Amino acid sequence: MASRKKFYVTTPIYYVNDKPHLGSFYTTLVADVMARWHRIKGDDVFFLTGTDENSQKSVEAAKKAGKTVESYVNEMATIWKDTFKNLNISFDEFIRTTEERHKKGVYEFFKRVNKKGDIYKGKYVGYYCVRCEAFLTKTDLVENKCPIHKVEPNILEEENYFFRASRYKDELLEYIEKNPKFILPEKRREEVIKYIKTAMNDISISRQTQEWGIEFPLEKGQVFYVWFDALINYLTGIGFGWDEEKFKRYWPADLHLIGKDITKFHCAIWPAMLLSADLELPKHIYIHGFWTVKGEKMSKSLGNVVDPIKLKEKYPLDAIRYFLVRQIPFGEDGDFDEEALKERINGELVNDLGNLVWRVLSLAEKFTGSFEGTPELEKYLNLEKIEFHMENFRVDLALQEIWNFIRQCNKYINEKEVWKLSGSELGNALYNLLESLRVISILLYPFMPETSEKIRKQLGLEKKLDLRDCVFKKFEGRIEKREILFKKIEN
């Protein structure tokens, strides 16, 4: 038997100083869509997500909550994990950076990089914004102040260990050149190239003044800089340092999904780290935009976050999933607006999809003949185009193309006036429509798993899904009890 293709997809690991909001759900949702798509393709899929717990943000948040850092991060990690489960995210592994297996992998990774001669001790003299808990460079400053907190940063002097990232500049630029789909979308790729050429320096990877974090092996009293340990989660989450076999099975990652604010870390520092450790680079890094509210980034500090769990109490989860994927071209920013969500529910989910399923099933239920005929609707199904969009991670366009097919099915009913047909003519029309619904139920699965299951149940089809079944065959289902898929949202 030919061996299955593997597909390893990751999300960023999330800071635990807050619970998930719609922005963080978004990255994870797209990863879920990709994972489910590859599962129905028959691939050997691994989908990793998790939490980034060694940050100073954890310390501050714990202090505020009056808890020890350990108990705070434990509680928050559970909240993140449960929230994702609640949102039907089908992750295979949830990695926490305070876990022993992660630490083990970080030490193993560090050993390799150190052996390569890429670690050196130096003095860090630079700007430090205490409120951000981050080092800033001169170019970050606006009128000599931190651009976020509008205060003058301190000058900080620390004895740190550095990673010689600059050594890999040329190799990295060459790799990016040779692999045009390594960094997507294209406009981000250009930004990365510019950054590597003009601003990429060695980075300080240890901290002298912090206590919370993974102990730095070369000097007591120092801990790893949180970004250095966090990036390594993509390796430790699949066994690096603790399950070599599993690691070999899935690395390199096929897709890292990230938001645009963490591009430099993922597209410059991370690949440099991997080159130093003699590990393969990920195949694709796709950078998406931000969800905004009235034009401003959705974030805790601005107090404009949308809670996906609260939203789920008001709208069906699959409708939210549909909306998030469909609303913005993947890679761009987009404004979140509940009115737009309602419009899409009432238009696309109730009218297009819901009506189609309801109409076909009511006709099929009464029909006593057999559902047989010649495929007439199949030609409107552009499976190649859908696959093309999914291969290019344009989940929004894939969904749009599926909708083109759904609309064609409705058009078919109207143009043929199927409700007026009888006998073999009706049998033929219903054959076409039922097979279309069966195919639609497969294609919708990655985006709206519950809806897919509901459609299949009404058609009396088995649960197992396979993308290769998206061709018209003999209809082998059985018409079961009808169920409304989506209810109209009244204002």
The answer to whether the peptide bond before residue 252 is cis (omega within 30 degrees of 0) is: yes
Q: Is residue 438 within 8 Å of 478, Cβ to Cβ?
A: no
Q: Is residue 47 within 8 Å of 329, Cβ to Cβ?
A: no
Q: Is residue 223 within 8 Å of 257, Cβ to Cβ?
A: no
What's the min distance (Å) between Cβ of 251 and ligand MSP? 15
Site for ligand MSP contains 258 (CB under 6 A): yes
Between 22 and 317, name the residue whose CB sits nearer to ligand MSP: 22
Site for ligand MSP contains 332 (CB under 6 A): no
Between 231 and 386, name the residue whose CB sits nearer to ligand MSP: 231
Map the footprint of ligand MSP across residues 152-211, applying CB under 6 A. Answer: none
For the chain, give me the number of helices (H) and strands (E)? 19, 16
- Contacts of residue 151, defined as CB under 8 A and 6 or more positions apart, other chains included, come to 129, 131, 145
Map the footprint of ligand MSP across residues 263-292, applying CB under 6 A. Answer: 290-291
Q: Is residue 413 within 8 Å of 352, Cβ to Cβ?
A: no
DSSP 8-state class, residue 307? P
Between 149 and 197, name the residue whose CB sits nearer to ligand MSP: 149
113 burial level (CB within 10 Å; 0-12, 13-18, 19+): buried
Site for ligand MSP contains 54 (CB under 6 A): no
- The residue from 298, 357, 363, 485 that contacts ligand MSP (CB under 6 A) is 298
Between 206 and 458, name the residue whose CB sits nearer to ligand MSP: 206
Site for ligand MSP contains 259 (CB under 6 A): yes
Between 157 and 280, name the residue whose CB sits nearer to ligand MSP: 280
Rounded CA separation 313/383 (Å): 34
């999914």: which residue's tokens? 390
Task: Find the part of the chain contacting ligand MSP (CB under 6 A) among 254-262, 338-346, 375-383, 403-411.
Answer: 254-262
Site for ligand MSP contains 27 (CB under 6 A): yes
φ/ψ of residue 282, rounded to 5: -60, 155
Pairing of strands 134-136, 154-163: unpaired
Rounded CA separation 393/206 (Å): 35
H or E element in which residue 257 lies: strand 255-259
The string of DSSP codes covering 226-249 is: HHHHHHTHHHHTTTTTT-HHHHHH
Rounded CA separation 433/307 (Å): 38
- Contacts of residue 170, defined as CB under 8 A and 6 or more positions apart, other chains included, come to none
Rounded CA separation 312/20 (Å): 13
Site for ligand MSP contains 26 (CB under 6 A): yes
Q: Is residue 371 within 8 Å of 475, Cβ to Cβ?
A: yes
Site for ligand MSP contains 442 (CB under 6 A): no
DSSP 8-state class, residue 13? P
Site for ligand MSP contains 452 (CB under 6 A): no
Tally Cβ neighbours within 10 Å of residue 115.
Answer: 12
- The residue from 81, 112, 297, 385 that contacts ligand MSP (CB under 6 A) is 297
What's the min distance (Å) between Cβ of 172 and ligand MSP? 18
Task: Find the part of the chain contacting ligand MSP (CB under 6 A) among 23-31, 67-75, 243-251, 411-419.
Answer: 23-31
Query: 190, 121, 195, 133: which is closest to 161 by C-alpha?
Result: 121
Site for ligand MSP contains 12 (CB under 6 A): yes
- The residue from 7, 8, 9, 13 that contacts ligand MSP (CB under 6 A) is 13
Query: In 3-state terms, what secondary structure has residue 61?
Result: helix
Site for ligand MSP contains 118 (CB under 6 A): no
Size of the site for ligand MSP (CB under 6 A): 21
Between 16 and 363, name the residue whose CB sits nearer to ligand MSP: 16
- The residue from 7, 8, 9, 23 that contacts ligand MSP (CB under 6 A) is 23
Map the footprint of ligand MSP across residues 68-97, applying CB under 6 A. Answer: none
Rounded CA separation 127/40 (Å): 50
Site for ligand MSP contains 15 (CB under 6 A): yes
Between 101 and 416, name the residue whose CB sits nearer to ligand MSP: 101
What's the min distance (Å) between Cβ of 298 and ligand MSP? 4
Site for ligand MSP contains 34 (CB under 6 A): no
Task: Find the part of the chain contacting ligand MSP (CB under 6 A) among 19-27, 158-166, 349-357, 455-463.
Answer: 19-27
- The residue from 45, 129, 231, 317 that contacts ligand MSP (CB under 6 A) is 231
Sign of CA dihedral 51, 56, 57, 61: positive
Site for ligand MSP contains 482 (CB under 6 A): no
Task: Find the part of the chain contacting ligand MSP (CB under 6 A) among 20-28, 86-94, 387-395, 458-466.
Answer: 20-28
Site for ligand MSP contains 50 (CB under 6 A): no
Site for ligand MSP contains 14 (CB under 6 A): yes
Site for ligand MSP contains 401 (CB under 6 A): no
- Site residues (vs ligand MSP, CB under 6 A): 12-15, 23-24, 26-27, 52, 230-231, 233, 258-259, 261-262, 290-291, 297-299
